[in-house]
Structure 1
Amino acid sequence: MRVSLIQLAVDPAEPVAARRARAARLVREQRGSDLVVLPELWHIGAFAYESFTRDAETVEGPTARAMAEAARDAGVWLHAGSIAERPEPGGPVFNTSLVLSPAGELVRTYRKIHRFGFDRGEAVLMSAGTEIVTVDLPATTLGLATCYDLRFPELFRALVDEGATTLVVPAGWPERRREHWSLLARARAVENQSYVLACGTAGTHAGVRQAGHSVVVDPWGTVLAEAGPDEEVLTAELDPAEVAKVREEFPALKDRVLGR
């Protein structure tokens, strides 16, 4: 199974429409991959708080339509990162991930549960999701999380309990906490004996430099591929059977006592 993580650079001088078109072009260039992943809030920038309400869309809006066309043209499953979603005019805004099929159909959405900001920014400007979301692909089951969610292991254990074998984490993670990003991605892979696909952004969001360093981690915690700090497409080959093999050879999940 071939996966491609598009570590898109976000430049505040680039209009949203131009970035949307550029992201769609990069998705189309990944024909031959089975799954393509984009970062969190790449259309506006994860720290561009003033844009959360101004540029919010529905899941039938321009970003979703552009990504659906790109997924269909490339013939790939597409985790289109997340958008600022406002389902109803004047209603709450959510940080919502979109998963599209190779036919361009919107298969599932995930509204970010853990909002970052400590009583400011996303934590007050966006509403929290409540649903644990998995998506069945032909070769694996995706468990969906977003950025700050990575710090909350109970979410990932719940995803595994729902059958997830590949954990997908789009993010807009700041460079000053890059070591946490790398450490937590590996930890979530090891403790859940699952693949982790952690796709961040490059560039600067509202003055906040991004970490980059998107990473693909296998169920044993081995880093299969890691990006640098700049815009990059990271591609890796996964063996979906490896998850069951690791869980059988080292059956730590069977020894759980708490949380069952």
Structure 2
Amino acid sequence: MKMAIVQMDIAFGEPEKNFLQVDSFISQAAKQDADVIVFPEMWNTGYALKDLEKLADKNGEQTKNMLSRLAKQHAIHVVGGSVATKKAQGFFNTMYVANRNGDIVAEYDKAHLFPLMDEPVYMQAGQAKNIFKLDHVECGGVICFDLRFPEWIRAHVLDGAKIMFIPAEWPKQRMDHWEILLQARAIENQCFVVAANRVGSDPDNEYNGHSMIISPWGEVYLSSEEGEGIFYADIPLDEVDRVRNTIPIFHARRPELY
């Protein structure tokens, strides 16, 4: 499965400009015969949380319509990072996934809201896991701060996920945590971790990418540069079963103790 990870320099508080960027990136990845394209977190608005009333995508309709249309047009799976949405219950940080037929196969609201960027002040937390299939492969998706909760990632893997997608706006000053945690989540869950981080800056933070793909054995298949662009890597899906058969941690678990 050929992955394309997008590192966007998100235009702060300018959704229409960002939608045009996403359209262009999907077209570029399709020309490179990518199977899956992955975007970073909150790509429609950035962390312009004070302006969500006017900026957030109402019920995600604009995002879903665009991702569905482009996925079908280019026959590519789109893991749509996440966008700011406005729903009946409030504002959410929401991931949408469209398969290559144009079907929206996943909608996930970020479960763990990040206090250091005021998410709990402005947004509501999600209440459900995110499991979906791409080309018959079981996948899971979480968002940025969710990465720091190993039990949340493990819950998705126990439900069958062989690939975990993690879009983020992870600030430059904590990149050492980003890299270590991604590798740990892949090794301890014996799954592929595909993580897309933004680049550029907003009024409060600087971001420098370092998007990654980690194998179930902890090998770094991709560690991107710091600039904006699309980064590609092929992942051998049979590696998941090979690693799980080599060290059978799921058979050795003691859930009755924990």
TM-score range relative to shorter protein: over 0.9
Partner of 1:128, secondary structure, is: coil
Runs of 4+ in 1 over 4 A off after TM superposition: none
1:128 corresponds in structure 2 to 125
2:151 corresponds in structure 1 to 154
Counterpart selection for 1:206 from 189, 203, 206:
203
8 A contact 2:50–2:122 mirrored in 1: no
Deviations 1:108-130 (A, max 9, x none): 10111000015x71012111111
Q: Which amino acid aligns with 2:157?
A: V
Separation in 2, partners of 1:21, 1:112 = 24
8 A contact 1:139–1:240 mirrored in 2: no
Counterpart selection for 1:111 from 100, 109, 112:
109
User: CA offset at residue 186 of structure 1?
Assistant: 0.4
Separation in 1, partners of 2:54, 2:152 = 30
Counterpart selection for 1:182 from 175, 179, 182:
179
User: CA offset at residue 228 of structure 1?
Assistant: 1.5
2:92 corresponds in structure 1 to 94
Which stretch of the first structure deviates more once superposed, 245-254 or 193-202?
245-254
User: CA offset at residue 39 of structure 1?
Assistant: 0.6
1:66 corresponds in structure 2 to 66
User: CA offset at residue 205 of structure 1?
Assistant: 2.3
Structure 1, unmatched stretches of 5+, are none
Separation in 1, partners of 2:250, 2:53 = 41
8 A contact 1:57–1:85 mirrored in 2: yes
8 A contact 1:48–1:206 mirrored in 2: no
Larger helix proportion, structure 1 or 2?
Answer: 2
Separation in 2, partners of 1:19, 1:202 = 13
1:141 corresponds in structure 2 to 138
8 A contact 2:193–2:213 mirrored in 1: yes
1:252 corresponds in structure 2 to 249
1:85 corresponds in structure 2 to 85
Deviations 1:25-78 (A, max 9, x none): 111111111111101101111x32223333111345223222222212221111
Structure 2, unmatched stretches of 5+, are none
Q: What root-mean-square deviation, in Å, do the aligned CA atoms of Structure 1 and Structure 2 show? A: 1.6
Separation in 2, partners of 1:113, 1:126 = 11
Which stretch of the first structure deviates more once superposed, 28-37 or 169-178?
28-37
Q: CA 1:51/1:68 → structure 2, altered by over 3 Å: closer, same or farther?
A: farther
8 A contact 1:176–1:211 mirrored in 2: no
Separation in 1, partners of 2:44, 2:84 = 9
8 A contact 1:53–1:84 mirrored in 2: no
Q: Which amino acid aligns with 2:55?
A: D
Counterpart selection for 1:227 from 219, 224, 229:
224
Separation in 2, partners of 1:83, 1:19 = 11
1:27 corresponds in structure 2 to 26
Separation in 1, partners of 2:193, 2:97 = 16
User: CA offset at residue 15 of structure 1?
Assistant: 3.2
User: Structure 2 length as normaliser, TM-score?
Assistant: 0.94
Q: Which amino acid aligns with 2:114?
A: F
User: CA offset at residue 104 of structure 1?
Assistant: 1.8
- The percent of aligned pairs where both chains have the same amino acid is 30
Separation in 2, partners of 1:184, 1:17 = 33
8 A contact 2:14–2:44 mirrored in 1: no
1:48 aligns with 2:45: no
Partner of 1:113, secondary structure, is: coil
Separation in 2, partners of 1:195, 1:51 = 36
Partner of 2:57, secondary structure, is: coil
1:17 corresponds in structure 2 to 16
Separation in 2, partners of 1:210, 1:43 = 16
8 A contact 2:95–2:108 mirrored in 1: yes
Q: CA 1:60/1:123 → structure 2, altered by over 3 Å: closer, same or farther?
A: closer
